[in-house]
Each structure stands twice: as C-alpha cells, then as structure tokens.
Chains A and B, each alone.
Chain A
Amino acid sequence: MILRRVAVISYGMTKVDKHWNKSLRSLFGEAALNAINKVKNPKIDAIIVGNMCASDLSDQNNIGAIVADELGLTPITAYRVEAACGSGGAALLTGFSLVSSGVYNVVMVGGVEKLTDNIGKMTSFSLGKAADAEYELFYGATFASLNALLMNRYMYVYKTPREAFADFAVLMHKNGAKNPYAQLPFEINREIALNSEYIADPIRLYDCAPIGDGAAVIILCSLEEASKYTDSFVEIIGISGASDTINIASRDDLLSLKATVTAANNAYKMAKVTPKDIDVAEIHDTFTITAAISLEDLGFCERGKFDKFLYEGAFEPGGIVAINPSGGLKSRGHPVGATGVYQAAEITMQLLGEAGKMQIPNAEIGLTHNMGGVGSSVYVSIMKRVK
C-alpha cells in the first residue's frame, strides 16, 4: 500500500565519459551538487546509491558512507543497493519506498560508476558478474555472448533482417547527438554499425553500449511537501521491480524477458495507465537485441515486429512513444549502476520541459526501464508532470 505520494523535486548528472581525472566520490559529488543547487534548502534524510563494480574496480565497498562523507551529509543514513546494471532502478525503488512509507521525508537517490580505474579485462570480468558465475561464466560465456544467444535466436525465429538492429543503433546516435551529457554524441550510419568489429557474433561493437564513468542523482520527497522546495516537480505514479532466473537456460521463452513484462504490468496498473499513454521512455538498450525485446515486453510493439515498428517511425519523436531521446545506453552511455538514475533524471527533465534540443513536445507521462543481467533484475517507473 502506498502511504504517501512521492515527487521528484530535482535531478543532476555528470556527462558520461572516460573521466580519467575524476574519482568515484568526486563524480557523485558533482551530480549531487547539480541536484541540490536546483532546490531550496532540502534537508536530506538519507542517500540510496546504486553501484555495481566499485568493489572490483576501485577496491571500495561501503559506497553509502563515501558519498555521505563527500557531501558533508554525515550522520544521515546512506547505503548502496546492487542489482548489477539495474542497481540504479533498485535504488529508485528503495528511495521511493522510504519516502512513501514515511520513514524519511527527503531522500537522495543516486547512482555512480567508475569503470575506467582498472584495465579493460578486469572491467569486462567485473561486468560479466551480472550473469551466473557457476553455470554461465564457468563455460567461458561473456555477458555480450549471452545476449548474442538471444539475438541469434530472435533472427532465426522471426527472420528479422540484421540491418534492423543496426538501424536502431543509428536512431539512438541521432538522438544522442543532441544530448550534452552523452558519451558518444555523434551520428553514425548503417554501414558503420554493420561493419564494426565482432564482440560476440552476431553482436558487433555498434550493437553495444560503451564503457564509461558517470553519476546521476535525483531528490525525492512527499508530493504534499514538494512545493516547499521547488515550483516544478513530477510525481512517480507507478513503480515496480521483478526478477527472473539468473541463468537464461532456465527460461521457457528466450524471446521475452519476463521480468520486464511483470515489472511493467505492475507499474502500469499502479499508475492506472497503459503503454499507449506513455509519451516518452528511457529503456535499457545495453545491446540492440535488448532494445528489441524490451520494446515488445513493455507493450510498445507487437512481438517479433520490432523492425516493422522501427521503420514506421514508432519509436521516434511524434511516433507511438519517443524512445530514448537521451540516446539511450547506446549513445548517452551506460555507467552501469548509475544508468537507472540517469533514466529517471532524463524523464524528469523531459516532463519539466527542460530537455533542450532533446525535448519531446508536451511530454506528460514518461517511463524508465532499467535491467540487471540478461533480464534477471528489472525496474520500471512511471512519472507524470504535476504542473
């Protein structure tokens, strides 16, 4: 039961990039100050932070204390939640619950990831831990290769042309080129995507999100108190999380990620909306195949017809739903544990009409979709413009 309605009163981000000169804590500090400075004296009661790889790549656990310390906010409670690439979405669900329940009044939800403090092999090794160590990674599977299994199967079952996946990447880069926070803010064409190097066949480099660092923060409070802090805010009208077997082999259907279906249906129900009501969505496109399956699972397109909908312009501004105006994981970037919070910040920005060149006109209802593992941990939120 929801005891109190919850508002997002502020957001802040760093550009996603290879930030060689910034640490885990300084990245978080930058995003947090951006958010804090937009609102009037919020007394923050707690920080919930999403992060996946700090223990492996920065030799650091206890991320909550680090960020509270960085912001001079001790002795408030602060802790990390981890759900692989879905850590940010998990942090949002936790922060929402703390405010909604009345345990705390103002909660900072953040995500931070520092992937470039270690060598490439270690970074891949750490990211791979989103999969099943005993029954997938043991055999030499990589995270990309597990997604490649889905892509190969998808093309086999639906006879989808390979070009459609490349063209989705092209669309994401077209969007991301307008995003000042994007890691890869440039356009590409189909040939570049199709001829990029193989990562795990049939997945090529331009099917994948890049490796980068970043931090994002939003601030939540109860809807009734929101106008104490700011004149413009949005409400989280639906939120849910769901899980699936960590090993993809234990699933009956390889072409649907059931945790997305469950989380989305619960969030739609809570928000009393349907997929048709969503104006703008930030979805979790770690790989182009993840985007295809997720668009279907979220109810934005018919199963197996992602290419048809793509070519009809369904996912562009003015289509059925504007997908990833930020450029998505593909172009904005994917600082893994922060990605879910970037999505929430971007949707807030859209609903407040503050998205600049990325702005989707009159966006009123937005959705975030954040995924850990190959669909094993999924978080969906739905937000609405209040005024």
Chain B
Amino acid sequence: MSVPRYWREIPYRIRLEAKKCKLCNYVNYPPRSKCLKCGSTEFEKYILPKRGKLLSFSIIRNPPIGFDKKTPYVIGLVELEDGTRLITQITDIDINELKIGMEVEQVFRKITEDGDSGIIQYGVKFRPKNM
C-alpha cells in the first residue's frame, strides 16, 4: 500500500473519526460527502466509542496476501455502544470462546506489513472486554 493512501486514512482508521450529521445525528462511518440517512452535508467531527458487542464473526483459514503469518484469525462485525457498526479483527481470544453478543473493546495493533520494504500498517482491533 502506498504511503499517501495509508496516511490519508489515519484519522478514520486509527483515531476512528466519523462524521456525525448535524441534522439527523446519524454517525457516518466511513465518512461520506452526504449523510446516508438524510442527505445533509452538515457534519461535526465525532470519535467513535471504544466498546461494543460482537454481532457476527468468521474465522479465516485461507488468508489473503499479506495475512499469511497469522492464520487462523477472526473477522468480526462489531456494533459499538452508539449503534455504529464496523468490520474489524477480533484478537486475544481462543476461537472456541467466540460468541455472538459478547462484549468487546478497542485495542491498537499491527494489521499487516507490505513485505520487506513496504510500510507496516496499524489499526484498531477489538478484544474481549475486561481482559
């Protein structure tokens, strides 16, 4: 991944910045030019909550390029405390302990690296709460 591409996503992917609609309060994440719910273009900056619950998960055994070293790993769909949802990795867990509905919290981790000379990509993962 190119450095500019990685760099420009930092506010959204690492600080989890979203755009909250000033008209209808819907949290647009990823941020959009117009609100998904009402079409408004008036937003305020908003940081997503750090905790949520697991709506669904899947275990990756055939990883894509760049993720070969860590299999098996878990992809989760998390609903945060304010109702915003995101796709993420679930980490620090035995795959047999995974349960839909379980509470999870945000941690900062390495996601992948682009081979010998590529950039190391960081981002947010989620782990079981109160670990």
Cβ proximity bits A153-179 to B, threshold 8 Å, 1 near / 0 not? 100100000000000000000000000
Contact of A153 among B13, B56, B67, B112 (CB under 8 A): B56
A145 near B58 (CB under 8 angstroms)? yes
B121 interface residue, CB < 8 Å from A? yes
Cβ proximity bits A117-156 to B, threshold 8 Å, 1 near / 0 not? 0000110110010001011111111101110111011001
User: How many chain-A residues does the 8 Å CB contact rule pick out?
Assistant: 36
Q: Which residue of B lies closest to A246 (CB)?
A: B30
B55 near A153 (CB under 8 angstroms)? yes
With A138-B121, A139-B111: A152-B58 Cβ-Cβ less than 8 Å? yes
Contact of B67 among A122, A140, A202 (CB under 8 A): A140
B47 interface residue, CB < 8 Å from A? no
A249 interface residue, CB < 8 Å from B? yes
CB distance from A204 to the nearest CB of B (A): 11
B55 near A254 (CB under 8 angstroms)? yes
A138 to B67, CA, bound (A): 10
Contact of B65 among A125, A149, A153, A250 (CB under 8 A): A125
A153 to B54, CA, bound (A): 10
Chain B contacts for A248, CB-based, 8 A: 77, 87
Chain B contacts for A134, CB-based, 8 A: 9, 13, 30
Chain B contacts for A153, CB-based, 8 A: 55-56, 77, 100
Q: Which residue of A lies closest to B59 (CB)?
A: A201
Cβ proximity bits B47-81 to A, threshold 8 Å, 1 near / 0 not? 00000000111111111111100100101110000
Interface centre among B9, B56, B77, B89 (most CB of A within 10 A): B56
A247 interface residue, CB < 8 Å from B? yes
B75 near A149 (CB under 8 angstroms)? yes
Q: Which residue of B lies closest to A120 (CB)?
A: B62
Contact of A156 among B30, B62, B85, B100 (CB under 8 A): B100
CB distance from B3 to the nearest CB of A (A): 15
CB distance from A87 to the nearest CB of B (A): 21
With A152-B57, A254-B56: A137-B121 Cβ-Cβ less than 8 Å? no
Contact of B73 among A140, A150, A249 (CB under 8 A): A140
9 contacts between A and B (CB under 8 A): A135-B13, A138-B111, A142-B62, A149-B55, A149-B57, A198-B59, A245-B36, A249-B85, A250-B85
A residues contacting B by CB (< 8 A) are: 121-122, 124-125, 128, 132, 134-142, 144-146, 148-150, 152-153, 156, 198-203, 245, 247-250, 254
Top-8 shortest CB links A-B: A148-B58, A249-B85, A153-B56, A145-B58, A149-B56, A201-B59, A140-B67, A152-B56
